[in-house]
Amino acid sequence: MTNRIASPILQPVTLGGLQLKNRIVMAPMTRSRADDNGIQPDYAAEYYAQRAGAGLIVTEATNISAQARGYTRTPGIWNEDQITAWKRVTQAVHQREGKIFLQLWHTGRMSHPDMHDGGLPVAPSAIKPHGQIRVHEGMKDFVTPRALRTDEIPLIVEDYRRGAENAKAAGFDGVEIHSANNYLLEQFIRDSTNVRTDRYGGSLENRLRFPLEVVQAVIDVWGAERVGIRISPVTTTPGETPLDSDTMRTFGTYVAALSNLGLLYVHEIEGVTQQSREEVSDVSFAALRRAFRGAYIANNQYTLDLAEQTLAAGDADLFSIGRPFIANPDLVARLASGAPLAEAPKAYWYGGDSTGYSDWPTMS
């Protein structure tokens, strides 16, 4: 076991005005332990606090409204009871001197009528995703969503604003806007899922309008220096969602606009979400990174070695790690000491209770 305690990745760093313990970010991970009202269980506070060795924690994706929901047992941030439950989480993380951002989510077409009392999920356009989604009774086929009316879109922007305000009331250090993985924001961006003919579809400027209105609303609440965003330009899951017809132009323009708004960071899934880095297409993540002035959080199968090389090359500032945090609450300490990592069986990823969630031991 090699001691890596002196690794530059593990030294304290400043992100905007925030002092972080190190350059490791705990990536957002859906764990599906909330109740049917989107309220986190008490043991979620313990789960997140156990992982406060990360420089920054980004919470699991959190629904900004009832309409935003896609998956069973995912948390919400649209009412007082949800805020109260999240307060327990932020207090526990802060007690361990951690920093935590809430991830703001709307699933759009990645949803099911079972989540909406039989009503249809909403999306930019009525295009059905392929495959299935986890709802209360297990996996069910996606349906064709209902295309949003133009006058409904500003109401969703307001839902994001309220989510951002509620995150503040819950004591978070900032928020991350979920603009990745083919959920609502990305559905507007890609021409494969947005065939609207109003001011929210068609030209690239129109397709970026809604996501940028959301970003502006969240900035109004938090200030740009406490707002990050997550993107995944080449991910096709869920729904077997086709890529945009011009990924580099579309995402290059988006990232440049986000940069001009002064966002704290862009958090990018380099490759296909939950798949290997090898499957990256001809998209240049380095070029997208250079289009952004703020911090860059790189994600996808980073090891300490790869993170050190990437940092030395100036290609990223922080590195987010997902699945290894499931079974290794003290992941950063294990990386520092070179200790072996535990593996979480997939059965524990989604759903269930505190077992396989907040009961993983630290190194002995």
Q: Residues with catalytic annotation? A: 183
> Which residue's Cβ has the minimum distance to ligand PHB?
30
Q: How far is the CB of 274 from ligand PHB (least distance, A)?
A: 8
Closer Cβ to ligand PHB, 139 or 286, answer by number: 139
Contact footprint for ligand PHB (CB under 6 A) = 30, 61, 71, 180-181
CB 298 within 8 A of CB 319: yes
Q: How far is the CB of 288 from ligand PHB (least distance, A)?
A: 18
Q: How far is the CB of 3 from ligand PHB (least distance, A)?
A: 34
Which residues are CB-neighbours of 305 under 8 A, at least 6 positions away?
none
**Side chain identity, residue 277:** R
Tokens at 343, concatenated: 């593996």
Q: How far is the CB of 180 from ligand PHB (least distance, A)?
A: 6
**Side chain identity, residue 62:** T
Closer Cβ to ligand PHB, 61 or 263, answer by number: 61
* 16-20 long-range contacts, CB within 8 A, separation 24+: 16/225, 16/226, 16/264, 16/265, 16/294, 16/295, 17/225, 18/56, 18/99, 18/173, 18/174, 20/55, 20/56, 20/99, 20/318
Pairing assessment for the beta strands 132-135 and 265-269 based on DSSP bridges: unpaired
- Positive or negative, the Cα torsion across 202, 204, 206, 209? positive
Closer Cβ to ligand PHB, 16 or 28, answer by number: 28
Q: How far is the CB of 346 from ligand PHB (least distance, A)?
A: 12
Phi, psi of 318, deg, nearest 5: -135, 160
Residue 210 CB burial class (10 angstroms; 0-12, 13-18, ≥19): buried
CB 113 within 8 A of CB 67: no
Q: How far is the CB of 93 from ligand PHB (least distance, A)?
A: 20
Closer Cβ to ligand PHB, 61 or 298, answer by number: 61
Closer Cβ to ligand PHB, 71 or 319, answer by number: 71
Buried b / exposed e along 66-79 (16+ C-beta atoms within 10 A): ebbbbbbbbbbbbe
For 324, which DSSP code? H
Closer Cβ to ligand PHB, 30 or 82, answer by number: 30
Q: Give CA–CA dist 120/292, Å, rounded.
A: 37
β-sheet bridge partners, residue 147: 123
